[in-house]
Amino acid sequence: MLPASISFESLTPEMVAKTIDHALLKPDMTVDEVIEGCRLCAKYQVASVCVKPCDVFAAAQVLQGTGVDVGTVIGFPHGNSPAQVKVFEAIKALEDGAVELDMVLNIGHLKSGLFGQVRDEIRLLVTAAKEKLPSCCVKVIFECSLLTDEEKAVACRLSEQAGADYVKTSTGFSTGGATLADLKLMRASTDPSKTHVKASGGIRTLDYLIECLQAGADRIGASTTADIIEDMKARKAAVA
């Protein structure tokens, strides 16, 4: 649980770790690298590991009983798969051991003003996933670098109406990552009692992670997890 007032002083290394979804999504990542990354997640006790759909089963095997959740991506990275394909991908991932799903919304449909279709696609996946696993967590990725501020706000409202648990800034594989301005806009455009915010893309340092939390993020997608947490430990030790 994060403190009401977030600062370096109010956080612990354990708190920071539990904000992180450790990303293992590079297209050329080997199975051995995924397994090594999962073991790192267990060591640092992060919130979750986010792997490619093909790696969910292996990650679930490695992380069983560790307290670290397994997540994956749906319709990644462009969001262009038909809704029924995204649902199939989500159900397969849950069957393989995932409990968190980060789905990319249909960016082209959002920019076309097809808001009902965008909302219905998210709702279809959320409904199917939670019927399969009621405790699963669904996050909706916007790819904010491709959207106007108005489109980001609309995407927030549509995701919340559809029952998503999180709205997320980006895939990390497009033209930009998480910005503080986007996080503040997304936090202001959603109900904190219903919808959380995930920052992802370009968060490589402890200082920027803390800034993202202060801007409204609840979760952080990162791949430099060890560097971030070891920096936190070192700096805490230096002021002890």
The type of residue at 152 is K
Please report the beta strands in the chain, taking only residues with DSSP state E, as ranges in sequence order: 20-24, 48-51, 69-74, 100-104, 137-141, 166-168, 196-200, 219-222
| Pairwise CA distance, residues 2 & 194, whole Å | 17
Active-site option among 18, 86, 152, 168: 168
User: What does residue 49 show for φ and ψ, rounded to 5 degrees?
Assistant: -110, 140
Q: Does 198 qualify as catalytic in the annotation?
A: yes
For 4, 52, 105, 148, the CA distances from 128, given in Å and listed in that order, are 34, 20, 16, 30
Classify 177 as helix, strand or coil. coil
Q: Does 168 qualify as catalytic in the annotation?
A: yes
Active-site option among 18, 86, 139, 198: 198
The type of residue at 18 is K
Question: Residues with catalytic annotation?
Answer: 168, 198
